[in-house]
Chains A and B, each alone.
Chain A
Amino acid sequence: MFEKTLSDLIQGLRANKRNESEYIQRSLSEIQHEVQQSDMRQKSVAVDKLNYLHMLGYDMNWASFNVVEVMASSRFGEKRAGYLAAEQSFHQETDVLMLTTNLIRKDLASSNVMEISVALNGLAQVATADLAQDLLDDVLAAVGHSRPYIRKRALVCACRLVIKYPEGLREFVPLLKDRLDDADPTVVASAVGVICELAHTNPQNYLPLAPKLYRLLTTSSNTWMLIKIVKLFAWLTPIEPRLAKKLHGPLSHLVSTTAAMSLLYECINTAVVGGIIDVQLPAVDSVGREMDFAELCARKLQLFYESRDHNLRYVGLVTLAQFQRRRPELVAAHYGTVLRCLDDPDMSIRMRAIEAISGMTTRKTLVGTVKRLMSQLILSNTVALQQANAKSDTMDYSESSDTQAMPLVDASGTSMVTAQGSIVSQRSSAGPDVADNPEYRLAVVEAIISMCSHQTYTNLTDFEWYVATLTDLVYIAGADVDERLSERFLDVTVRVRQVRAFSLQMARRLLSDTHLVERAASFGGQKGNNALMLGTAAYLLGEYCELQPANSDDIHLLLPAGLTRLPEDQQGMFVLAAHKVYANWLRHASEYWNADTWEQVRSVTTQMQQLLSERILGSDILPGGTVASRMSLLPLQTSSRVRLLVESLKLVSVTTSNMTDTAPPVCLELNALFKAYELNPVSAAAQGKVPIPDTLDLDTFIGDVIPDTTAKVMPPPSPPPKQRAATATSRQRKESKAKDPYYLPSVDDIPVVEL
């Protein structure tokens, strides 16, 4: 009799903040008891309490049946509570939903308007495919109800049902179209909303309604409905281009006169998404000036991203990103404003600004934008770098200051980071910056790359600056962009001849940074190291080594101490590059053969052999007995290349063991291993264009048929297709079956043993 009401429960919960879970457990057991009572009032109160606890996260599915009982109550208040609990807690698999079918049907047919609305609401929320199928007819009947209040709810409910049960769409659509002519404007608005929802998936069906919708667009003043109609036209216009010409009239009227920002936004969005701005269309401004519709939209859009309200700015930038993709010339003037948005403290706005900017850069603006973005990356990364360096104790001090001062070194060599101390102190007062967010950094780096490589580098005038930027990004990126950077590096160097010399310089710089190499080596296969970039640098050094004056120091760069700790691919690249550089240098040296060069050749050869034995085949790095066995422990690529290098070194040292008058031929010819003629990059589709010669026959054996030693275990291989005949295969199959000990042709063959 004195059970707790809902308010008591809530109050008790607030009072028992410390032992909340016990209190809830107690209440749950009480509710369990109450819910079994036959008194409907108690049941509904219990269900209310359960609802509340469900909101706090406690499961109430054990009481589903009781909820249905409460839904069936004749009193409105209890029924409403039951439906609410059902909406909150039922899901698609709740089995008691089947029991509710008749219940809902009864409620839908009731004479009490409130009961019908409650039932419609509940049904829309919990509908499953079965419920939808059973009750669609009742709901469609309600669409024709005398009260507009019910009609508009029935429309939305039917929409939900039709989504679950698509076959009902056929019956629903004619009714829906009728409702557009309904006398009550709220019902019309509801119908428009439903059409908007359905047209999302299938706009073709609703194209015939365009004239009616157009009339509504021009006559109505209900902002909510206008937004829906405008959005609907955004779906329809792509499939019916003639709509664009008709729409620009009322749209421009709306755009110039409306005071509601949301409607303005929707109109501009439709204009952009629906492609209405793609063509030149006349429009009238708010002051009566004639101008292009797209220009009008651009001008109104400016209001958004120049406003002080962050929401409007965000929304404006989103639309701007799409706008400039279609009509870039109209928004090019606002480049400065968008650039300023890059410094906004809000990350969402910054991300959107980056997106917009990536498409808007031109030749003149590219360098400035990239510098700005990179300075953002630096200002926060300097702090991170310093902290990281402070922690590591194996640092050479000159190295550490070198890496920190290195970022943003221009191609001309001037540094943008002037006094290191001043930059750091500026940062420490500011607190955590947006640029520290790794997602943001990744976006920035990708934006820089895409801006520069837009349309195969049309915007880029100075490739050397680009290569310098890429190397700087290696240091300051702070995000996992290794792969992209190395791709770009390789791409630019291979495509653009003039920049190759500079690239080699940069590559050399990267490789001589022992800190970088150490980091790449120590992290091994993990992400975040710059192994790929280093590998690319090594490859480039090897490939284009003849562009630089031959230098044997490069070899030391290419066989660094941590070579075996690098990832496999990179190891192979390094060794191969070392080989190439050595061969090149050897050839140059051999052209001016005298006693000094002989000395040099011998010393470099022995040095290299030493390096190899120390760093790669050393007994401290690889366990094992002989050199050969150790070599087999290396990864496959590396071992083959190392083998090659070792052999050539042996060859050279043997031939130069005595002083000769002219260079031994091997020194001159070794280079021919790599440099017969220049290889140009080949397009990916080139192989497909090579015609297959007619005489090519891939099926005949080239030489003798190799006897198959596995014939005893497996059936013999089938002969080439030209000689195969249908009978041969079936004969073969029979033969193989006869040989197969486990195959029994018929049941009678099964041996039966009498026990």
Chain B
Amino acid sequence: MTIKYIFLVSRQAKIRLVKWYTMLSQKEKAKTMKEVSQLVLARKPKQCNFIEHRDTKVVYRKYASLYFVAGIGLDDNELLMLEIIHRYVEVLDRYFGNVCELDLIFQFQKAYFILDEMIMAGELQESSKKTVLRVIAQQDETEAVENSERGWGDIKYVFANLTHAIYIIARIHIYVFLMYSTLANLVDTY
């Protein structure tokens, strides 16, 4: 199963993650991505998930607002690639807890690390969800330990976390506000 590339593209044609397993020039990569994104975004829901593009088969699947696209060689098993994509999404879901596009935007590095654990050099390495999550957890732990070793000398890091925390709290507040206002509207109409 030679995977040539994997990328995630949103409905507005924004690339959220891209991983190439072949050596191409930057221009060629950009061109291929653009063409394939156009092909994938033009598909209707009833059509099958396989497209032929030049000398690769493109396998894609839509999860909520995000398209997971992979390119494989002509001899490879498309159904298998679909399953690999699905496995990856399941692992992401388990790791982030109900993953949404926002998670992938802000923690795209984690997404890359998980992808690297599962797929290396265009081949599926690890199909067991538990193992992948265990290894990633280990890596996260190591990183956390390293960061705490720096101690409070790094105020910037604290600031960064703080802004992120404030952002999340703000988001929750906005949701609560919205819910409250819709409820209020409902009550008013009655």
Interface mask (A154-176 → B, CB under 8 Å = 1, otherwise 0)? 00110110000000000000000
Bound CA span A51–B111, Å = 13
Question: Is residue A744 within 8 Å, beta carbon to beta carbon, of the partner chain?
Answer: no
B186 interface hit (Cβ, 8 Å): no
Identify the 7 closest CB pairs spanning chains A and B, nearest first.
Answer: A310-B48, A262-B79, A77-B143, A5-B160, A124-B121, A346-B47, A314-B48
A125 touches B121 (CB 8 A): yes
A265 and B48 in contact, given A124-B121, A190-B125, A224-B124 (Cβ under 8 angstroms): no
* B83 at interface, CB cutoff 8 A: yes
A114 in contact with B159 given A266-B77, A266-B80 (CB within 8 Å): no
Q: With contacts A57-B30, A265-B79, A311-B82 known, is A156 near B120, CB below 8 A?
A: yes
Residue ID in chain B nearest A93 by CB atoms:
B25
Contact A41 B150 (CB under 8 A): yes
Inter-chain contacts of A194 with B (CB < 8 A): 123
Contact of A311 among B2, B48, B163 (CB under 8 A): B48
Give Cα A41–Cα B160 distance, bound, in whole angstroms.
14
Nearest CB on A from B114, distance (A): 12
A48: contacting residue among B109, B157, B163, CB under 8 A: B109
Cβ A41 vs Cβ B154 within 8 A: yes
Q: B103 CB to closest chain A CB, in angstroms?
A: 12
Decide: B80 and A3 in contact? CB cutoff 8 A.
Answer: no
Contacts A224-B124, A311-B78 aside, 12 further interface pairs with beta carbons under 8 A come to A5-B156, A52-B108, A76-B139, A76-B143, A77-B147, A84-B109, A114-B139, A124-B120, A153-B125, A193-B124, A313-B48, A348-B47
C-alpha spacing A247/B136, complex, angstroms: 40
Interface residues of B in 1-55 (CB under 8 A from A): 1-2, 15, 17-19, 21, 23-26, 30, 44, 46-52
How far does the alpha carbon of A402 sit from the alpha carbon of B84 in the complex, in Å?
56
Binds B, one of A6-14, A368-376, A454-462: A6-14
Whether A221 is near chain B, meaning CB under 8 Å from some CB there, is no
B interface residues, Cβ below 8 angstroms from A: 1-2, 15, 17-19, 21, 23-26, 30, 44, 46-52, 75, 77-80, 82-83, 105-106, 108-109, 112-113, 116, 120-121, 123-127, 135, 138-139, 142-143, 146-147, 150, 154-157, 159-160, 163-164, 167
Is A56 part of the binding interface, using a Cβ–Cβ cutoff of 8 Å? yes
Count A-B pairs with CB separation below 8 Å. 135
| Beta-carbon contacts under 8 Å, A45-61 to B | 48, 51-52, 55-57, 59
CB-defined contacts of B80 to chain A, threshold 8 Å: 227, 262, 266
20 contacts between A and B (CB under 8 A): A7-B163, A10-B105, A41-B150, A55-B15, A59-B26, A125-B21, A153-B125, A156-B120, A160-B121, A194-B123, A228-B1, A231-B77, A265-B77, A265-B79, A266-B77, A310-B49, A312-B79, A314-B48, A345-B47, A348-B51
Given A76-B143, A77-B142, A314-B50, CB of A197 within 8 Å of CB of B77: no
**A8 contact from B2, B15, B113, B160, Cβ within 8 A:** B160
User: A residues near B, CB below 8 A?
Assistant: 1-3, 5-8, 10-11, 14, 41, 48, 51-52, 55-57, 59, 75-77, 80-81, 84, 87-88, 91-92, 114, 120-121, 124-125, 149, 152-153, 156-157, 159-160, 186, 190, 193-194, 197, 200, 224, 227-228, 231, 261-262, 265-266, 269, 310-315, 345-346, 348-349
Hey, which chain B residues are within 8 Å of A224, CB to CB?
124, 127
Cα–Cα distance between A45 and B135 once the two chains are bound (Å)? 23
Q: Out of B15, B18, B146, B159, which one reaches A77, CB within 8 Å? A: B146
Q: A7-B164, A55-B18, A227-B77 are in contact. Are A80 and B47 (CB under 8 A)?
A: no
Contact B156 A80 (CB under 8 A): no
Q: Note all chain B residues with C-beta closer than 8 A to A56.
A: 15
Distance between A235 CB and nearest chain B CB, rounded to angstroms: 9
Which A residues are CB-close (under 8 A) to B135? 149
Known: A159-B121, A190-B125, A197-B123. A348 touches B139 (CB 8 A): no
Bound CA–CA A192/B113 (angstroms)? 25
Q: Which residue of chain A has the shortest Cβ distance to B127 in the bound complex?
A: A224
Contact B50 A348 (CB under 8 A): yes
Minimum CB–CB distance from A305 to chain B (whole Å) comes to 12
Question: Bound complex: CA of A80 vs CA of B49, how far in Å?
Answer: 34
Cα–Cα distance between A52 and B48 once the two chains are bound (Å): 32
- In the complex, what distance in Å separates the CA atom of A279 from the CA atom of B120? 39
Majority secondary structure, A binding face: helix
A311 and B49 form a contact (CB under 8 A): yes
How many angstroms between the C-alpha atoms of A261 and B109 in the bound complex?
33
Q: When A48-B109, A124-B120, A348-B48 are in contact, do A91 and B26 touch as well, CB less than 8 Å?
A: yes
Bound together, the chains give a CA A6 to CA B112 distance in angstroms of 15
CB of A121 within 8 A of CB of B120, answer yes
CB-defined contacts of B113 to chain A, threshold 8 Å? 80, 84
CB B146 to nearest CB in A, in angstroms, measures 5
Q: Bound complex: CA of A75 vs CA of B25, how far in Å?
A: 31
Q: Are A76 and B142 in contact (CB under 8 A)?
A: yes
Note all chain B residues with C-beta closer than 8 A to A315.
50, 78-79
Interchain CA distance A7-B157 in the complex, whole Å: 11
Which residues of chain A are near B138, meaning CB under 8 Å?
114
Chain A residue with the shortest CB-CB distance to B82: A311
Please give, as numbers and ranges, the residues of chain A lying within 8 Å of B167 by CB-CB distance.
Answer: 11
A234 CB to closest chain B CB, in angstroms? 9
- The complex places the Cα of A153 from the Cα of B132 at a distance, in Å, of 13
